[in-house]
Amino acid sequence: MTLDIKVSAALMKYNFLEQNKIFHALETDTVEKLTKHLKEGAEAAIEVMDSWEPVIEGYGGFPIEKEAVAKKKMEFKRDKNVGRVVSSGGDQMLVTGRKADGRYVVMGKDGRKTAKDAVDIGVTAKESVVGVDLDDLHESMKQARKNVGASTCWKGYKAKGTKKKDGKVVPNCVKEEDKIEEGKKGLWDNIHAKRKRGEKPAKPGDKDYPKTLDVESFKLDIKSKYNWRSNIKGDL
């Protein structure tokens, strides 16, 4: 589950404008200026961010949680290929389910899902079991990282399976092709990253101050677009 989803769940009782006020206060370090009600929301968001740890390479190298894989295995318990990693066209894919027409639903390392005919992933008979179980692959990668004394690949690289080096199994670190810049992640992820680095919040006028945080312009736009002047109460 992403950080944005977790924070959103913690702020469910707040409306859209209130959530924007909370976000703005956290980004500009002005939480103390919030009302008691909004401050409680900010504290809930902080608690989520401080306890959340991002999964850099996901489970077994895929952007999915272990619990989600276990759930899929139970859902399709009659098909032993669900939850296994297969190769097609040189790329590794995780089988996450099967459609009514017999095609398998597979996920790539980038999180994209597609449908593949059984023969395309190597299933040539009804009882065929292909690839390697994701749980086994994950444990293999954990051992490989232990062998090299590092929990992740170096900056700008990601693990794509394992390989043998000097007689030991080690992560096969390859250069990332589609690296996601911090500014393109979720807004809550950016706040979380800054808190982890101990950086001061961005201020209006700063280069990295997101336009989304221009709350004053946002309020005026909302009022103009929906003509809420007579309905909006309090200091917006």
Residue 116, domain member (yes or no):
yes
* Count of structural domains, the chain: 3
Instruction: Please state, rounded to an integer, the average pLDDT across all residues of the chain.
Output: 75
51-72 b/e (C-beta count within 10 Å ≥ 16 → b)? eeeeeebbbbbbbbeeeebeeb
Q: Is the pLDDT of residue 64 over 60?
A: yes
Residue 170, domain member (yes or no):
yes
Domain of residue 113, residue span: 66-132
Name the residue among 185, 175, 195 with its Cα closest to residue 45.
Answer: 195
pLDDT band, residue 144 (cuts 50/70/90): low
Model confidence pLDDT, tens digit, residues 81-93: 999 999 877 788 9
Q: Is the pLDDT of residue 194 over 80?
A: no
Q: Say whether both 163 and 142 belong to one domain.
A: yes
pLDDT band, residue 210 (cuts 50/70/90): low
Q: Say whether both 80 and 108 belong to one domain.
A: yes
Task: Tell which of 132, 151, 185 closes a domain.
Answer: 132
Kindly provide the residue ranges of all beta strands, DSSP E only, lying in 166-202, ordered along the sequence.
Answer: 168-175
Report H helices in the chain. Answer: 3-10, 16-28, 36-51, 66-75, 134-148, 187-197, 215-226
Q: Say whether both 118 and 72 belong to one domain.
A: yes
Q: Say whether both 125 and 105 belong to one domain.
A: yes
Residue 93, domain member (yes or no):
yes
Q: Say whether both 120 and 140 belong to one domain.
A: no
The model's pTM is 0.43
Residue 25, domain member (yes or no):
yes
Q: Say whether both 79 and 116 belong to one domain.
A: yes
The mean per-residue pLDDT over the stretch 22-29 comes to 88
The CATH number linked to 75 is 2.30.30
Q: Say whether both 121 and 148 belong to one domain.
A: no
Q: Say whether both 164 and 219 belong to one domain.
A: no
Q: Say whether both 70 and 128 belong to one domain.
A: yes
Q: Is the pLDDT of residue 225 over 70?
A: no
Q: Say whether both 158 and 120 belong to one domain.
A: no
Residue 184, domain member (yes or no):
no
